[in-house]
Structures are given as structure tokens and as C-alpha cells.
Amino acid sequence: MSDFILDIEQIRKAARDQMEKGAVTANYQADRNAILKILDSALATEWICVLRYTQHAKSAQGLHAEPIARHFFEHAQQEEGHANELADRIKQLGGKPDLDPDSFRRRAHTQYTECNSLVDMIKENLIAERIAVDAYSAAIRFIGPSDPTTRRILESILAVEEEHADELADLLAAFDPRENLN
Ligand SMILES: [Fe+2]
Ligand SMILES: [Fe+2]
């Protein structure tokens, strides 16, 4: 293995010359626009999920509504946390987080769907989580070693989406369809 040699003079010069680029340095190896596009879709996806989960949490009715609504609301709060992490990363990479709700549906991978029954809500959210898991997995594979910070952020979000999907699958399995009164 060859020695690790750093041209520190060059690095110092670039750090000073391109100060306005903030966290993005000459050693940033990813395609910045491609990464920003990934982060933008993820941001819109997380907001769609915040809105869908909140709507479900606040409109759930029926015998088992309370604990399920609590799950939905907890997930909504975690999705909002994800959205904020993504927005921070977009800013660090020199982008501008786009929170225009008019374009959320177009930019997001998941859908905003209102449901009339608890079981449909669980299914709808489980589908959305599975879409998010697939989309984050593909993005992580695409990024590879090119942008370790973005990759780490997406990996930590992916782990939570997998937990969400698992919880919802458990809720669905525990759900007795005869009790699906509302
Ligand atoms: Fe999320
Ligand atoms: Fe989630």
C-alpha cells in the first residue's frame, strides 16, 4: 500500500480561496447536483409522510384508534426530524431547501392519501414506508463512497424507516378485520 500523502499547501490555499463554498471543498467527490436532487426528493417525501401520518393520527376513529393514532403521530414527528436533517444537508451542499407545498406531490416518492378505516391507514403507511426503504436503499447504493456525510444521514434515516415498516407490519398482523368498525 502506498503512503497517504496530502498536499496540505494546496488544501490550505483552496480552503482560503473558495471560502464561500462552505462545507463543499475540492475533495468533495460526488456529483453535487445529483446528490441535491436525491435530497430534494427525499425532503418532499418526508413532508408528504408528515402530512399523511398527521392526517391519519388526527382522524383515526374506532375501538383501537387511540394506540394506533399514537404510533402515527410519533412517526409523523420522526419524519419531520428526517425532513429537517435533509434540509440542513441541502444547505450545507450549497442548495436551497424547497418547502413549496405545491410541488410536494410531484417531487415525493410517496403519496398523500386519506383513508376511511384504521386498517386502510395502516396499509397505506406501510406501503409508503416500503417505498421509502427502497428509495433510500437505492440512493445509498448510488452515492457509494462519494459523499460519506450524505450517505450516513440517509443510512440513519433508512434504519428508522425500516423500524416504521416493521411496526406497521406488526400492527397489520395484529389487526382483527372483524373489529374494523371504522
Ligand atoms: Fe422518514
Ligand atoms: Fe417512516
Distance 22 CA to ligand 1 centre (A): 27
| Residue 42 CB-density burial (10 A; 0-12 exposed, 13-18 middle, 19+ buried) | buried
Query: Of the ligands numbered here, which is closest to the C-alpha atom of 82?
Result: 1
On whether residue 12 sits in a domain, the answer given is no
Distance 164 CA to ligand 1 centre (A): 9
Distance 93 CA to ligand 1 centre (A): 20
On whether residue 3 sits in a domain, the answer given is no
**pLDDT value of position 115:** 96
The dihedral region occupied by 144, where left means phi > 0, alpha psi between -120 and 50, and beta the remainder, is left
On whether residue 101 sits in a domain, the answer given is yes
Distance 181 CA to ligand 2 centre (A): 26
Alpha-carbon Rg for the chain in angstroms: 20
If one counts every other C-beta atom within 10 angstroms of the C-beta of residue 132, the result is 27
If one counts every other C-beta atom within 10 angstroms of the C-beta of residue 88, the result is 13
On whether residue 21 sits in a domain, the answer given is no
* Domain range enclosing 127: 29-175
Domain count, the chain: 1
Q: Is the dihedral of CA 9, 15, 18, 24 positive or negative?
A: positive
Q: What is the pTM of this model?
A: 0.91
On whether residue 1 sits in a domain, the answer given is no
If one counts every other C-beta atom within 10 angstroms of the C-beta of residue 82, the result is 25
Rounded (10°) CA dihedral 47, 51, 52, 55: 170
On whether residue 39 sits in a domain, the answer given is yes
On whether residue 97 sits in a domain, the answer given is yes
On whether residue 133 sits in a domain, the answer given is yes
pLDDT in tens, the chain (182 residues): 788 888 999 989 988 998 999 989 988 989 999 999 999 999 999 999 999 999 999 999 888 899 999 999 999 999 999 999 999 999 999 999 999 999 999 999 999 999 999 999 999 999 999 999 999 999 999 999 999 999 999 999 999 999 999 999 999 998 766 555 44
CATH number for the domain harbouring residue 155: 1.20.1260.10
